[in-house]
Amino acid sequence: MSTMVTSPAPVEAQWPLPYKGQAGMLSLIVAESSIFSIFVVAYIFYIGKNLSGPTPREVLELPIFATVCLLSSSFTIHLAVGALRKVNLGAFRLWWFITLVLGSIFLIATAREWHHLIYDKGLTIATNLFGTTYYSLVGLHALHVTVGLIGLLTVLLLALFGKVRTEHTKNVDTFAMYWHFVDAVWVVVFTVVYIIGR
Amino acid sequence: MSSESIALAGVREPSRPLGLLIHSWITTVDHKRLGILYILYSLLFLVIGGIEATIMRIQLIVPHNHFVSPQFFNQMFTMHGTTMIFFVAMPILFGFGNYLIPLMIGARDMAFPRLNAFSFWMTAFGGLLLYFSFVGGNGLYGAGAAPDVGWFAYAPLTAKTFSLGHSTDFWTLSIFVSGFGSIGVGANFVATILCMRCPRMTLGRMPLLVWLYLITAVIVLIAVSPLTAAQAMLCLDRFVGSHFFDTQAGGSAVLWMHFFWIFGHPEVYILVIPAFGFMSEIVPVFSRKPIFGYPVMVAATVAIAFISMSVWAHHMFTVGMNSYGNTFFVLTTMIIAVPTGIKIFNWLGTIWGGKIIFKTPMLFCLAFLFQFLCAGLTGIMLGAAPFNWQLANSYFVVAHFHYVIVGGILFATFAAFYYWFPKMTGRMYNETLGKIHFWLFVLGFHLTFDFMHIPGLLGMPRRIYTYEPGRGWDTWNMIVTLGAIVQGIAILVFVANLLYSAFEGKLAGNDPWDAWTLEWSTSSPPPEYNFPVIPEVRSRRPLWDVKHPEDPDWLYE
Amino acid sequence: MACRTLETVGITSSLRARLKRGLLFLFSGLTLRCSAVFAQAASPVPNIFKPESTPADDIQRLSVFVLIITALIFIVVFSLLVYAITKYGRRRGDDGSEPPQVYGSNQVELAWTVVPVLIVLVLFLATARVIQSVQEAIPPASAVQVTAVGHQYWWEFRYPALGIVTANELHVPVSDRGRPTPTYIKLLSADTDHSFWVPQLAGKTDLIPNRINSMWIDPHATGMYVGQCAQYCGTQHAKMLLRIYVDTPEQFADWVAAEKQPAQASDDVAAGRHIFESTACVNCHAVTGTMADGRFGPDLTHLMSRATIAAGAATNTRENLKLWMRSPDAIKPGSLMPAMNLDDHDLELLTAYLESLK
């Protein structure tokens, strides 16, 4: 049958649609939020229902320092993306590196906290309902932090080899969305586990 | 201009070595090829799932039958349900979406072609993993290790104590893996539809099928994740001794049900909304009128998507929730009937005053209308909680959901097969065989699923490998089994028609149905790049505007 | 006009005539059978439309109401569909022009939104009322209290106030409407999920481990009512059958008195009793008045007062008892009763002992 009326190039330029990378990342964030919600619901559902074993109040200490590091890393990554947009590659690399360091500190702090809980307080995932829901929720978050750190490291290496330029701002910003999401989830997890649950 | 073929092996390019051809299909990132891979994969599992159903029906043809052991029967209903939902219905609908969406929005491919391929292979691997359970590992009773916990795998039956060996793990992991594929598809559909429409195709000018796939994709993103989460919890329970669903440690069996059905109910909308999409494209073309009430169809589907997140516990009316909980879920379930029912009226409104062409795709669509109506009405019955207290977990429920999934979704999918077969292969299917398939399948479907309601009303529960004589169930079970055999024959006719016509059918041309959406403006099958030039549209039916320049749609929208 | 439409679909007029005759035959046969669903059933058919107890009555009334409304909806929409299909088919010799392109109609769409909303409202209110009346009913002081514990694949019944333990076959008194004596059943589970379903007496309620559910029945007519487990619980879910005997007050009192008795010790079956008490039987089974105190399997104190064994899988006869002990898989493959590996002589003695447990 007949072909379509074709459009000259200028019309396409006037047809602005959202950037597909952001749409994809937002979709992923929706799906991940949904997974986290289920673990949060399980956590809240089982508060106070332990039949035995240590309770949150007995063993949990507020991870203030780790939280400050993680939340600051959201700020530093924001600065990094801004620097890239303004073609300030040196600042971009610096702020990006600091983000990576702050994220790593958070992960190490979590590891230390777990070591303390397991070996000093005798709390494992199999101990009781608190152990089950605590390790699974915090662990799921830590897994997402780890994936984020791998991404941060990859971008840092690419940047150090000079492959990341200002025209990649969109892509880097899309990754930063993921990092912001991970931080937002931590706010929720922190509130549920360390404040409400204790 | 020669178009690069995507028809079945060796038809148009006999000189190409088979190995290279297979390699090109395995490494493809082309949405059309991936769509066809999804569809062929689903067809294979449809046949396998059908064999599982036939085995069950033969076992149930008379009371106290000894065709298969109870262990094997329990594996059959588990595998049948799991296969049909996760490795037939979802892939086939994702496959059609993959194939059609870029073509319908005037794009060259999906937003993320490699993610697309990844998603397909994750799903494919999941299915193979599930079926590996028949041969891998050792079940306690030596009947192979296929899962036997039912397709919704209630706790604590799935705990290590009650499900020894690895059968449950095959269930959990195969779906877990394919779940990642599903989420990939969801993200891909959303990004493609939002970001890759051709110039001047606003959201209000997209074909309704594209809208419905967008909504489906959003539901996938929100609803598949709870299942992934619940399965992760189940794996932790089974492997590292956590207590999510461990009732001995204070865990809750009902929590698994909540998590599962928070996925499970929106899941059925993931399945049915694309079927609505097929209806909304095919019925107008074969009635020669536009869809009646496009904006309301969109709004109603958005409403369905929202409300579907709030009805899940109508699968749990017998669990012992208090009267307020039960009442709430009755309310939401009844409410969702309204936008769903409205759609039937809109299709009726499309047919009304039209010129109906009774070709095979339309026959399946018309049958859908009758059958989906019935399915919706039995759904209302099940939504009335006290009535549900009698009907739940009985053959009435089995009849209801097969009415929706077979009588509704599968019929709409058959319509889609016949409608888009010419586009995908470049050849017409055989119309006589199509009609034979249709009438045989209608006969078999109604024999099986109409009469299946009755044993449910007479107290026959589901998931039983045999039953007592003298309870009034015997004759009905026999009729139900007979219908299953008729359906099997119909499917054979269908497969034969597809295979034969793909190679020997009459050449179809670009637009055999005189239709109006963009996929019919390019060749059949389309070239790899879809369109020589990216089109620009001014209305919902761009080809109508071209064929009727004196009376284009954009004057009325 | 309808003829031409049908002919394009492959249905000629002679075929139609034959189909009509066939349909008429089928329909009359079906009506007869379908009415059986609603009519009196001679054998124990657990028909939800033949309720004999208040909760089941309430449910049946609601169900009929819902059925009538849905039937009306079906008739209206079905007729419209049939009308549209027959009237608007493309005729032979059609000029190929397109019909009027109608995009929608706000008034029509409003109407067919408002009407369903009203129907839904009515259905919801009717349903909410029955939910309240069944779930919020308060047990009178005269209610019989039973605790049901679901096991793979049998039912444990305890009457805490009466000090009785039995299995699989429940006895309850008939409830006079003037002076009701309903039975309230607390539902627990020892292992996985089960569901208690005796359709003529009530809707089903699940038995879930680590959770206490409850239900009640209020039977108006004496007799035996059948049901079975309605939540998949494992290999032998299919043979976890239920019987409820609704007795007259006198019959019930007699039954209670008999059940309260410990097992009678008789010298005739001393040998069999010795085998029972020295083999693994006592690990799982209890017989009051003896040292057997196992809780994993059914209480056997009054085994012979039951009509069936293995939760309804077999009738309670000497042959079946022997078969059950020798080879449970012959009756219920996958049940948790182990084959006892006794020689024929010991099996005879043991069976004689069991038959003394009246």
Work out the average pLDDT over B323-338: 97
Do C341 and C204 share a domain, yes or no? Answer: no
Order across the sheet with C164-167: list the strands: C164-167, C154-159, C144-151, C183-189, C213-217
Q: In angstroms, what separates the C-alpha of B427 from chain C's closest C-alpha?
A: 22
Which residue type occupies C88?
Answer: Y
Average pLDDT, chain C: 89
Is B205 within 8 Å of A21 (Cβ atoms)?
A: no
The total number of structural domains that make up chain C: 3
The total number of structural domains that make up chain B: 1
User: For residues B378 and B394, what is the distance between their CA atoms, to the nearest angstrom?
Assistant: 13
Domain encompassing residue B329: 28-555
Structure tokens at B135: 């041969």
| A3: enclosing H helix or E strand | none
Do C205 and C124 share a domain, yes or no? Answer: yes
All residues at 6 or more sequence positions from B7 whose CB lies less than 8 Å from its CB, including other chains: B424, B425, B426, B427, B502, B525
Flag whether B386 is in a domain.
Answer: yes
Look at C77 and B296 and tell me if their CB atoms are within 8 Å.
no
Work out the percent of chain B whose per-residue pLDDT is above 70.
Answer: 96
pLDDT in tens, C175-227: 988 889 999 999 999 999 999 999 999 999 999 999 999 999 999 999 999 99
Look at C232 and B463 and tell me if their CB atoms are within 8 Å.
yes
Look at C230 and B370 and tell me if their CB atoms are within 8 Å.
no
pLDDT for B11: 44
Which residues of chain B have a CB within 8 Å of the CB of A39? 229, 233
Q: Which range, of A148-157, B260-269, B479-488, C89-98, averages the lowest pLDDT?
A: C89-98
**B232–chain A Cβ distance below 8 A for any pair:** yes
Fold assignment, A20-196: Four Helix Bundle (Hemerythrin (Met), subunit A) (1.20.120)
Do C21 and C54 share a domain, yes or no? Answer: no
> Which CA distances in Å does C71 have to B337, B376, C34, C111?
15, 12, 15, 20
Average pLDDT, chain B: 94
Show me where the domains of chain A are located: 20-196
Do C33 and C61 share a domain, yes or no? Answer: no
Work out the average pLDDT over B162-184: 94
Q: Which range, of A97-111, B44-58, C36-50, C122-136, averages the lowest pLDDT?
A: C36-50
Structure tokens at B154: 């209630």
pLDDT in tens, A128-161: 999 999 999 999 999 999 999 999 999 999 999 9
The alpha carbon of residue B182 and the mean position of all alpha carbons in its chain are separated, in whole angstroms, by 13
Do C65 and C173 share a domain, yes or no? Answer: yes
Flag whether B19 is in a domain.
Answer: no
In this predicted structure, the answer to whether residue C21 has a pLDDT above a threshold of 60 is no
Flag whether B6 is in a domain.
Answer: no
Do C85 and C233 share a domain, yes or no? Answer: yes
Which residue from A6, A24, A133 is facing B112, i.e. has the nearest CB? A24
Q: Indicate if the alpha-carbon torsion angle B283, B289, B293, B294 is positive or negative.
A: positive
Structure tokens at B406: 């077979």
Q: In angstroms, what separates the C-alpha of A43 from chain B's closest C-alpha?
A: 10
At B461 the three-state DSSP class reads strand
Domain encompassing residue C345: 267-355
* Chains linked to B by 3 or more Cβ pairs within 8 Å: A, C
In this predicted structure, the answer to whether residue C57 has a pLDDT above a threshold of 60 is yes
Work out the average pLDDT over C144-148: 97
Look at C33 and B475 and tell me if their CB atoms are within 8 Å.
yes
pLDDT for A193: 97
Do C16 and C148 share a domain, yes or no? Answer: no
Which CATH number does the domain housing residue B501 bear?
1.20.210.10
Chain B: residue whose CA lies nearest to C40: B472
The per-residue DSSP string of B482-497 comes to HHHHHHHHHHHHHHHH
pLDDT in tens, C211-269: 999 999 999 999 999 999 999 999 999 999 999 999 999 999 999 999 999 998 788 89
Do C118 and C200 share a domain, yes or no? Answer: yes
Which residues of chain C have a CB within 8 Å of the CB of B352? 84, 88
Do C71 and C24 share a domain, yes or no? Answer: no
CB pairs under 8 A between B and C: 299
The per-residue DSSP string of B420-457 comes to HHHHHHSBPPPHHHHHHHHHHHHHHHHHHHHHTHHHHH
pLDDT in tens, B117-163: 999 999 999 999 999 998 876 644 444 589 999 999 999 999 999 99
pLDDT for B151: 97
Among the residues of chain C, which ranges form H helices? 2-8, 13-38, 54-87, 106-135, 249-260, 270-278, 281-284, 318-326, 344-355
Do C200 and C233 share a domain, yes or no? Answer: yes
Count of C-beta atoms within a 10 Å radius of residue C26: 10
pLDDT for C7: 52
Order across the sheet with C241-247: list the strands: C169-173, C241-247, C223-229, C194-197, C205-207
Kindly compute the dihedral angle of the four CA atoms of residues A137, A141, A147, A152, in this order, to the nearest 10 degrees: -170
All residues at 6 or more sequence positions from B374 whose CB lies less than 8 Å from its CB, including other chains: B403, B407, C74
Look at C48 and B70 and tell me if their CB atoms are within 8 Å.
no
* Chains B and C touching, counted as 3 or more CB pairs less than 8 Å apart: yes
pLDDT in tens, B80-91: 999 999 999 999
The alpha carbon of residue B190 and the mean position of all alpha carbons in its chain are separated, in whole angstroms, by 19
Chain B: residue whose CA lies nearest to C117: B338
Which of C313-352 are b and which e, b meaning 16 or more Cβ less than 10 Å from the residue's Cβ? bbebeeebbbbbbeebeebbbbbbbeebebeeebbebbbb
Which residues in chain B (105-124) have CB-CB distances under 8 A to chain C?
none
**B76–chain C Cβ distance below 8 A for any pair:** no
**B542–chain A Cβ distance below 8 A for any pair:** yes
ipTM associated with this complex = 0.93
Q: Which range, of B518-522, C14-18, C333-337, averages the lowest pLDDT?
A: C14-18
Look at B253 and C5 and tell me if their CB atoms are within 8 Å.
no
**B330–chain C Cβ distance below 8 A for any pair:** yes
> Which CA distances in Å does B456 have to B27, B224, C288?
48, 30, 40
pLDDT in tens, A15-51: 889 999 999 999 999 999 999 999 999 999 999 999 9
* Chains A and B touching, counted as 3 or more CB pairs less than 8 Å apart: yes
Work out the percent of chain B whose per-residue pLDDT is above 90.
Answer: 93
N-term to C-term CA, chain C: 75
Which residues of chain B have a CB within 8 Å of the CB of A5? 535-536, 546
All residues at 6 or more sequence positions from C250 whose CB lies less than 8 Å from its CB, including other chains: none
Which residues of chain C have a CB within 8 Å of the CB of B340? none
Interface test with A, best of B242, B248, B312, B553 (most A CBs within 10 A): B242
Which CATH number does the domain housing residue C169 bear?
2.60.40.420
Work out the average pLDDT over B355-367: 97
At residue C15 the predicted structure's pLDDT band, cuts being 50, 70 and 90, is: low
